[in-house]
A and B are shown apart, each in its own frame.
Chain A
Amino acid sequence: MKIIVCVKQVPDTSGKLAVNPDGTLNRASMETITNPDDLNAVEAALKLKDETGCEVIAVTMGPPPAEGMLREIMARGADRGVLISAREFGGSDTYATSQIIAAAIEHIGLEKDDIVFCGRQAIDGDTAQVGPQIAEKLNLPQVTYAQDICKDGDTLTVQRALEDGYMTIKVQTPCMITCIKELNEPRYMSIGGIYEAYEKPMEVFDYNTLKDSPLIDVNNIGLAGSPTNILTSFTPPQKGAGQMLEGADQETCDKLAGMLAEKHMI
């Protein structure tokens, strides 16, 4: 049994964002982190590894520096890393991205009792699309928004979060599960783990590695394979600064309530 966990390196959107004069994002100036939901996916995989001794493979698609993130995942306990990286893959939207990752998963080989874990969504794009699209391309059953996972033989019982509760879903392996932060508390890297991480195998899948896959075709990867195009990107106008009220006393509060009443806000 093995678990493939898909992770993404993202700009840290909680930090200061830098926007270029043309309205695009200056990614170069931003710190990168492992996408938070993906760390929950990694932890879910490592918990199953603790229980069953299965192999955990961390997979990411991105530029060569993303290897550093894979080493961090290995320092937490993953057994090997796969970096999918090629110029041909650049400019992919979610459709093309999932096509490429699905091809990579097929290349690794998915067997009867294997599981694919993803995070619910990445904080840069916030689409939550890649997991389900990988599942569709691989014809795997999916359960998204997993907040609890219980494994019994080849059956997973998953609590899938809803806005007003949850559903309990039974699914058989192989399957694809997307994870949310309620699922678990990601573990830290250990010092020993960091040393070991650099001894563990790291593979790079480039265009040549995957080009023979039936999923890979110049028309369904990269920009040419992306059904969506960006028409415009822009920054919203900063709302004009409001009114700072002097003093934090009853008089100030009365004045504020008075202004709200005058504008029929209350």
Chain B
Amino acid sequence: MQNFDSSNVSAFKDVWVFCEQREGKLMPTDFELLSEGRRLADELGVKLVGLLLGDNVEGLAKELGGYGADKVIVADHQLLGVYTTDGYTKVICDIIAEEKPEIFLIGASNIGRDLGPRCAARLHTGLCADCTHLDVDVANYQEFLRNNSVLPEDRITKTNTARVLGQPHDVAKDLKMTRPAFGGNLMATIICPRFRPSMATVRPGVLKKGAFDEAKANAVEVVKANVELSEADMQTEVVEVVKAAKKLVDLVGAEYVVSVGRGISSNVEEGIKIAHDLADALGGVVGGSRAAIDSGWLTADHQVGQTGKTVHPKIYVALGISGAIQHKAGMQESECIIAVNKNASAPIFEIADYGITGDLFKVAPMLVEAIKAAKAAK
């Protein structure tokens, strides 16, 4: 870390992805980030590097190559087996100070969101949290704005420069990190023009994972990092890691999600059963709004929304969910949204592709029958 100067922007090169592993298994977000990182590295004409920390994890490097990494830096140490803020931050910052990546991406998991800010503060650089879209290339970014914003063309054209400390700044070399704020009502694109690496945590489940490439997997360069770490560096002690007893619901990967909200309050048991019936008919899983989770009707792993999970299934069915912005933030990217609600003026209908005004306890079972029949007819 000594003599490291984050403001010497031109000394930095390559796109790096922090590849989180838990108990020796890679996280699905790693592949999403590598696929996205591949695109950014190609836009910059540089290498994509995976950074893998753990205890005896070198064997995972090949799989990372298959999703786009040209090179994987492996930091193997017995103290890195389980995630600790101190151990991971020290090792990552030491390697970054030495190798100077231009861009550093981290999955916004509970671990990534602990690690990212600690590293950014130590490296004296900027970190954009929970990004949902990334670009380097200006033309690609402007095309993204044309499709995803209501900005007029003259303002879109002007996004090739920013005002930085009162001076115009050409953003051609900067990572343009777009993220929702205020519960998804406002989007902001953030740059880190004066310091490197440009760091971003990226919301799991938002970016698309590319195809696994066997040839790339075999061609990946694996480099062992020199790790200097001792017990004295660790300020905390992990006593145990406890897995939730029940198998958790895979909301992010599901193609069909049926969510329930406050609308099932009159008969919670029946409401949950109906949701499961409909999810089974579609071949998907059950989710819930914050109201449903806070009321204890479903466990927290079912929560869709700003403080829950972001989903983009083929079909999202909202049963008795009013559609508060915090909920919409987690599901509005779904390909098709079907809303069933008694209240015809519920905000959920503003984003629904198909809306039915009615009692979910009556409509949902009919929908189950209709879907079964439609599937049988195929």
Using CB atoms and an 8 Å cutoff, list the residues of chain A in contact with chain B: 11, 13-14, 17, 19, 23-25, 93-95, 98, 123-133, 135-137, 140-145, 157, 160-172, 175, 182, 223-224, 226-239, 241-245, 248-250, 252-254, 256-261, 263, 265-266
Contacts and interface: CB of A to CB of B under 8 A. Distances in A.
B342 to A, nearest CB: 9
B159 interface: yes
A33 B373 CA distance: 50
Contacts of B130: 126-127
B187 A236 contact: yes
A265 B314 contact: yes
B189 A128 contact: no
A236 B149 contact: yes
Given A171-B235, A265-B336, 7 more contacts: A136-B122, A227-B126, A229-B162, A244-B357, A253-B366, A256-B338, A266-B315
A256 B114 contact: no
Given A143-B236, A232-B188, A98 B121 contact: yes
A237 B149 contact: yes
Q: Which secondary structure characterizes the binding site on chain B?
A: mixed
Contacts of A233: 186-189
A162 B159 CA distance: 38
Contacts of A131: 117
Contacts of B114: 132, 142, 144-145
A234 B149 contact: yes
B244 A164 contact: yes
Given A229-B193, A231-B176, A242-B355, A13 B325 contact: yes
Nearest to B378: A261
B110 interface: yes
Contacts of A141: 85-86, 235-236
Contacts of A130: 117
A236 B148 contact: yes
Interface stretch (B69-77, B97-105, B346-354): B346-354
Nearest to B335: A265
A19 B125 CA distance: 30
Contacts of B86: 141
Interface stretch (B36-44, B52-60, B177-185, B220-228): B177-185
B51 to A, nearest CB: 19
B149 A242 contact: no
B374 A258 contact: yes
Q: Which secondary structure characterizes the binding site on chain A?
A: mixed
Nearest to A147: B300
A129 B120 contact: yes
Given A136-B118, A145-B114, A234-B145, A245 B355 contact: yes
Contacts of A126: 129-130, 180-181, 183, 306
Contacts of A261: 374-375, 377-378
Contacts of A238: 350-351
Given A23-B186, A98-B121, A233-B187, A167 B165 contact: no
Contacts of A135: 118
B16 interface: no
Nearest to A262: B374
A259 B356 CA distance: 14
Interface in B57-95: 82-83, 85-86, 89
B259 interface: no
Contact of B241 (A95, A123, A165, A228): A165
Contacts of B11: none
A266 B371 contact: yes
Contact of A19 (B121, B186, B367): B186
Contacts of A263: 336
B219 interface: no
Contacts of B301: 163-164
A225 to B, nearest CB: 10
A228 B89 CA distance: 21
B320 to A, nearest CB: 13
Given A129-B117, A228-B190, A244-B357, A13 B151 contact: no
A244 B149 contact: no
B238 interface: yes
Contacts of A172: 235
Nearest to A18: B185
B357 A231 contact: no
A162 B149 CA distance: 34
